[in-house]
Structure 1
Amino acid sequence: MKKLIPLVFLLCFILNLQAQNPEIDKLNQQIENSARSNPDSAKVYMFRLLKYSSKLHDTVIGKTYSNIGIQYNRLAVPDSAEFYMKKALEYTEEYPLQHGKMYLNLAINYRFGSRYQESLEALENAMQFYKQAKNKEGEGLVYGEMASNYNYMMNSEKALNYLQKAITILTEVGNKRELYIVKQKLANLYYNNGDYTFAKDIYEEVLPFFKKNIGANYYYTLLSYADCLIKLEENYRAAEEALKEVEKGLREMNNMEYVWLSVSNLAQVYEATGRTQQAQEAFQKAYEGSFQLNSPRFMEISARYIEFLNTQKQYSQALSVIDRVKATAKTTRLKMNADNEIDFLKQAVATYTQKGMVENSLQSFERMDFLKDSLNAAINKAKALELQEAFQNGIQREKNIVLKKNNELLVENNNKKDNILILSILIFILILGIGFVLFKSNRNKLKLQQELVSSLEISKKALEEKNTLESELRLVRERSLANKEKELVKVSLEMSDLQNRLMELLDHRENPDSSQVLAKKIKDILGQNNYWKYFKGKFVEVHPAFALKLSEMFPNLSDNDIAFCCMLKLQLSTKEIASLMGISNDQVDSKTATLRRKIGMGDDILGFEKLIDHLE
């Protein structure tokens, strides 16, 4: 009760101070009226309010600076937003609850700018101050924001874990509004994992609640809900109505980043319903608008636009979009995550293929493989960090128990002065005990270190032996593959030679008339039993990835085309290929020319040969 008295006096002082200045009341009202719909005006009023800093409490000044940062964020000026949010921290250092809120706002700003690691660090600071203030609701909000970061980082497992923590805490404290926001984040998680039906159901649950007090959350949720309808292809009309409502509402709030995202989604609806011209116009607006805004959604919107241009066979226009996206690749803010870049590269490969730009196609393909490998590595690293974090939390819990006991001793010391002597004796005994424990601990630690050194030496020797064995196995494998390729070529040539010799014997037989029926049967058998099946099985042993990569790069190639490329890979002659496939020499030449046209290389014979030779 005694601790509450200074807080009550402080609150009364602030209210009394502000009540004595009608200009401050007027500015507060103007800020409240313009904060949602007009960020520019709200910002001006906030700066005017700061002119009365001498009459405002530090927490009010800090909150005002943070709110200015929020308005800059809505105006897509992240650097200014960060500056004012950091300035807010200077005024709230002595107030844990307000300090935690300032760090939470800063973390959200970092997330909007795709700076996920910095956002997580700011959230750790926010969590520390919320716990210091014993504010469970704040802890729930931090867990929800952590989940959003991991959701954008495509770490679904960790995102779900933090969402569950947030839901548990917010349910306990009874904060219905924030609970619905966390449920919205849960729907976003299912959306990112492709479970559009379940995501749609959760969006339908939370939308009526957000509609009671329409703001940014309502429009964001409605935008995601419309996207689910598009993905499920079940109700384009409802999706279009929702997206038009989102575009109108966000324009009024001057939230242009999400305006362009909604226009991009609207373009998808137009395309799906056969309104091609409207779709192209909408895609172009969203693409240009997000670029001018330096939006993190620029690459996502560009990938959709390129896909549309490819379907319309506007490959030159698609190339110009690709070039602009590549020119902005160094700007971290212009892409949300690796999945956006993978989607973009898929569409770029399709464009390059149609334009016959094989080198560009190969480079994009290799970049896609690298990003996929990086994502897998990041997931593994995240799991390792999670184990480490669990271990550290266990240690921290033990430390907290010790600290709690020490605090209880100190409280008892303050309340019972008569027991100072006894408490001193207890502390002395405790120090002796700790000294004894430390002595034994150091002795055991030294013994463990010695054992560890011995174990490391053994591990080093085992690792060296393992590396030697792996080198030998690699050499054996390389020799085996070389021998298999030689064997494959040799057997193929032998089969081809045998088939040719049989045909020569038939062509030069002594009595053609009498053995004409028999000759026809032998030719039919030779024509039906080409050796492609045997050849294919052996070829996969030598070059296991060749056929798969070729089909991924050029989906329009048939199995017969892939087989033909495999024989070209072994540098077989026209005559040998004709024998193996049971066709004539002229047909081999014709098929080679057709194949070049299919992959967009036309008369570029050298380029075609280079592609076949270098692809593994």
Structure 2
Amino acid sequence: MKKTILIALFFCLFMASHSQTPEIEKLNQQIENNFRTNPDSTKIYLIRLLRYSSKLHDTVVGKTYSNIGIQYNKLAVPDSAEFYMKKALEYTEEYPLSHARMYINLAINYRIGSRYDESLEAAENAIIWYKKADNKEGVGIAYGEMASNYNYMMDSSKALKYLKKAIAILTEVGNKRDLYIVKQKLANLYYNNADYAFARDLYEEILPVFAKNKGTNYYVTLLSYADCLIKLEENYKAAEEALKEVESGFRAMNHKEYMWIGVGNLAQVYRATGKTQKAQEAFQNAYEGLYQLDSPRFMELSVKYLDFLNSQKQYANALNVIDRVKATAKSSRLKMNADNEIAFLKQAVSTYSQEGMVENSLQSFERMDFLNDSLNTVINQEKSMELQEAYQNDLQREKNLVLTKNNELLVENNSTKDKMLMLSIASFMLILIIGFFLFRSNRNKLNLQRELVASLENSQKVLKEKNTLESELHLEQERTLANKEKELVQVSLEMSDVQNRILDLIENRENPESSELFVTKLTELLGQNNYWKYFKGKFVEVHPIFASQLSQMFPTLSDSEVAFCCMLKLQLSTQEIASLMGISPDQVESKKTNLRRKIGMEDNILAFEKLIDHLE
């Protein structure tokens, strides 16, 4: 079979080479000269080559369409890339090996555009056609592409599964070039799982091999390697040099998306090394560049840029970035996933708080809570789906066993078809055996269904018990918190009352002259017991993050104003606060008014009370 395919391909290439005109040869040379460095020119030459499609073999026409798609991919125009790559499939369907390669190119295009389900489907089609062509090497390459998709989808277990398959096949066939590419994907897997040291070591092993032919793989690997160095915070100088080479390389290739990603990472290096002005310029250029390209990486870069702007107190610029991100998030291509949106909202809350935009800040807090709850729901749904898939796999396995045995019986029956009597006996036996296996299959299926129902009932019971325990625990925590708050208020007020009563006795004492020394010592003793500090210390035990959240949202508040908010959090009355602080009720109301004015809620008492109650 392999010899037949090789002879056919050789014949096609021989005929194609002898039918080429000087114009075709010239275009092929121009395409070869510009393919790596100038996608705009290459695209034009490839389109011109299609004018001679009647003189070219179908596989050559298909490859030409696919190459046009690759150039559009470099230019960050994924829709056009998809159109030409699908066009390529129309010309290669009768040639399994070429058809499989066209599917691989389409899968890569989908993956770059974050269309992972479609990319996986294209890779699976490639495997089907590689197997038709009896090309084991291609199957290994396709497994590697599937692993890349699962890598981007953060499904490490499936990514590792397909990487192992790819490495085994490529090692067996001795394809060192693609083996290193798969090792690069393995390094990406470790990178995605935050094992940056191991990923760095793998990148260092791969880079010298890719450096022999400085193409896209080399610069993409160098980009990931530099990011590992940034994450490890161990060698910013090497990271800066690598990223400058990445920017230069992709700029020469006119691969704009990866170029701006490199610039964005370079901005992080500048920020970490104190080169603030350079970091500002690099962030701004990468931010604008990815926005113009309508790149899916725009959202991720925007979060990093927002973090930088907030750290530099450039809140006006940060608000502009927030507005643009919200506007572009409506696009299906730029829509944020839950993790990106949570990171974005954290930065937005910081910006809104500094600008006194309390309502916007509260809305962002509520959206973050909703997203966190949604993520927990999705995790529970995924666990349920895993149970269903496990049951379906077991059921299908049982069916396959029955079918396999039925096939064996049919083969045996065919071998004795020349003897009518034996055929009748064999047919009768076959019916009995089939009936037996069908009966056993149905019985096993029924047992499996019963086991599944029992398992699901048990899971529901466990889940119900867990929910009950969690509810009881939550109620107990609320009761404990309420008791602690009550104890805190009661003890603090009692201690404050004792202090006030002692001061009253001192003020109204008889014989002031004879008791002066006693009064002095008693006053010093009272001064050494700061009941206000005792109150603050106990309050932190009950609400450990309230004060830090409040200070983060309103950094201009003094310690005494934050402490005053702590008493408001406990919903103490004006009289109780006055007693605890040793001031009059009018002074307490005055403090509330001044506090609302300072945080921009002077006339909005309800919003102020909602803010104090919302914070933990």
Q: TM-score, normalised by structure 1?
A: 0.82
Kindly provide the amino acid, as one letter, of the partner of residue 503 in structure 1.
L
Matches within 5 A, 1:281-360: 281-334=281-334, 337-360=337-360
Q: For the residues of structure 2 that align with 1:161 and 1:555, how far apart are their CA atoms? A: 50
Aligned to 1:213: 213
Matches within 5 A, 1:398-417: none
In the TM superposition, residue 297 of structure 1 has moved relative to its aligned partner by: 1.7
Kindly provide the amino acid, as one letter, of the partner of residue 11 in structure 2.
C
Aligned to 2:100: 100
Q: For the residues of structure 1 that align with 2:462 and 2:203, how far apart are their CA atoms? A: 56
Aligned to 2:41: 41
Matches within 5 A, 1:230-241: 230-241=230-241
Q: For the residues of structure 2 that align with 1:459 and 1:241, how far apart are their CA atoms? A: 55
Q: For the residues of structure 2 that align with 1:68 and 1:276, how far apart are their CA atoms? A: 41
Change (3 A) 1:76 1:428: farther
In the TM superposition, residue 328 of structure 1 has moved relative to its aligned partner by: 0.6
Kindly provide the amino acid, as one letter, of the partner of residue 19 in structure 1.
H
Choose 494-503 or 69-78, whichever is displaced more.
Answer: 494-503
Q: For the residues of structure 2 that align with 1:393 and 1:326, how far apart are their CA atoms? A: 43
Matches within 5 A, 1:175-574: 175-334=175-334, 337-375=337-375, 377-378=377-378, 429-430=429-430, 432-442=432-442, 489=489, 492-527=492-527, 528=529, 530=531, 546=546, 550=550, 553=553, 563-573=563-573
In the TM superposition, residue 100 of structure 1 has moved relative to its aligned partner by: 3.4
Change (3 A) 1:307 1:8: same
Aligned to 2:19: 20
Matches within 5 A, 1:87-166: 87-166=87-166
In the TM superposition, residue 413 of structure 1 has moved relative to its aligned partner by: 10
Change (3 A) 1:24 1:336: farther
Q: For the residues of structure 1 that align with 2:447 and 2:393, how far apart are their CA atoms? A: 27
Paired residues of 1:170 and 1:176 also in contact (CA < 8 A) = yes
Matches within 5 A, 1:41-80: 41-80=41-80
Choose 488-497 or 206-215, whichever is displaced more.
Answer: 488-497
Q: Deviations over 1:410-440 (max 9, x none)?
A: 99999x8997977897677445422332244
In the TM superposition, residue 322 of structure 1 has moved relative to its aligned partner by: 1.4
In the TM superposition, residue 204 of structure 1 has moved relative to its aligned partner by: 1.5
Paired residues of 1:243 and 1:263 also in contact (CA < 8 A) = yes
Kindly provide the amino acid, as one letter, of the partner of residue 229 in structure 2.
L
Paired residues of 1:18 and 1:24 also in contact (CA < 8 A) = no
Q: For the residues of structure 2 that align with 1:385 and 1:455, how far apart are their CA atoms? A: 14
Change (3 A) 1:87 1:586: same
Kindly provide the amino acid, as one letter, of the partner of residue 203 in structure 1.
Y
Q: Deviations over 1:358-404 (max 9, x none)?
A: 22223333333444454555556556656665666666667777777
In the TM superposition, residue 77 of structure 1 has moved relative to its aligned partner by: 0.8
Kindly provide the amino acid, as one letter, of the partner of residue 531 in structure 2.
N
Q: For the residues of structure 1 that align with 2:299 and 2:253, how far apart are their CA atoms? A: 24
Q: Deviations over 1:539-582 (max 9, x none)?
A: 866x6875575466568989876554321112335664465468
Question: SS at 1:513's partner residue?
Answer: coil
Choose 371-380 or 275-284, whichever is displaced more.
Answer: 371-380
Change (3 A) 1:87 1:585: same
Paired residues of 1:144 and 1:182 also in contact (CA < 8 A) = yes
Question: SS at 1:51's partner residue?
Answer: helix
Question: SS at 1:307's partner residue?
Answer: helix
Q: For the residues of structure 1 that align with 2:203 and 2:42, how far apart are their CA atoms? A: 30
Kindly provide the amino acid, as one letter, of the partner of residue 169 in structure 1.
I
Paired residues of 2:406 and 2:434 also in contact (CA < 8 A) = no
Kindly provide the amino acid, as one letter, of the partner of residue 78 in structure 1.
P
Q: For the residues of structure 2 that align with 1:101 and 1:163, how far apart are their CA atoms? A: 19
Change (3 A) 1:465 1:267: closer
Question: SS at 2:511's partner residue?
Answer: coil
In the TM superposition, residue 214 of structure 1 has moved relative to its aligned partner by: 0.8
Mark the runs of 5 or more structure 2 residues left unpaired by the alignment: none
Kindly provide the amino acid, as one letter, of the partner of residue 140 in structure 1.
G
Q: For the residues of structure 1 that align with 2:521 and 2:552, how far apart are their CA atoms? A: 40
In the TM superposition, residue 207 of structure 1 has moved relative to its aligned partner by: 0.9
Kindly provide the amino acid, as one letter, of the partner of residue 238 in structure 2.
A
In the TM superposition, residue 287 of structure 1 has moved relative to its aligned partner by: 1.4
Kindly provide the amino acid, as one letter, of the partner of residue 188 in structure 1.
N
In the TM superposition, residue 613 of structure 1 has moved relative to its aligned partner by: 3.3
Change (3 A) 1:409 1:65: farther
Change (3 A) 1:452 1:297: closer
Q: For the residues of structure 1 that align with 2:243 and 2:452, how far apart are their CA atoms? A: 63
Choose 452-461 or 480-489, whichever is displaced more.
Answer: 452-461
Choose 65-74 or 505-514, whichever is displaced more.
Answer: 505-514
Q: For the residues of structure 2 that align with 1:386 and 1:142, how far apart are their CA atoms? A: 25
Q: For the residues of structure 2 that align with 1:307 and 1:166, how far apart are their CA atoms? A: 39
Paired residues of 2:413 and 2:427 also in contact (CA < 8 A) = no
Q: For the residues of structure 2 that align with 1:389 and 1:445, how far apart are their CA atoms? A: 15
Number of residue-to-residue matches in the alignment: 612
Q: Deviations over 1:86-110 (max 9, x none)?
A: 3333344454444433333222222
Question: SS at 1:334's partner residue?
Answer: coil
**Higher RCO (CA < 8 A, seq sep 6+):** 1
Change (3 A) 1:167 1:472: closer
Paired residues of 1:59 and 1:91 also in contact (CA < 8 A) = yes
Q: Deviations over 1:331-382 (max 9, x none)?
A: 2323675443333333222222221122222333333344445455555655
Paired residues of 2:417 and 2:423 also in contact (CA < 8 A) = no
In the TM superposition, residue 149 of structure 1 has moved relative to its aligned partner by: 2.5
Q: TM-score, normalised by structure 2?
A: 0.82
Choose 332-341 or 313-322, whichever is displaced more.
Answer: 332-341
Change (3 A) 1:286 1:537: same
Q: For the residues of structure 2 that align with 1:443 and 1:405, how far apart are their CA atoms? A: 17
Q: For the residues of structure 2 that align with 1:282 and 1:420, how far apart are their CA atoms? A: 85
Question: SS at 2:260's partner residue?
Answer: helix
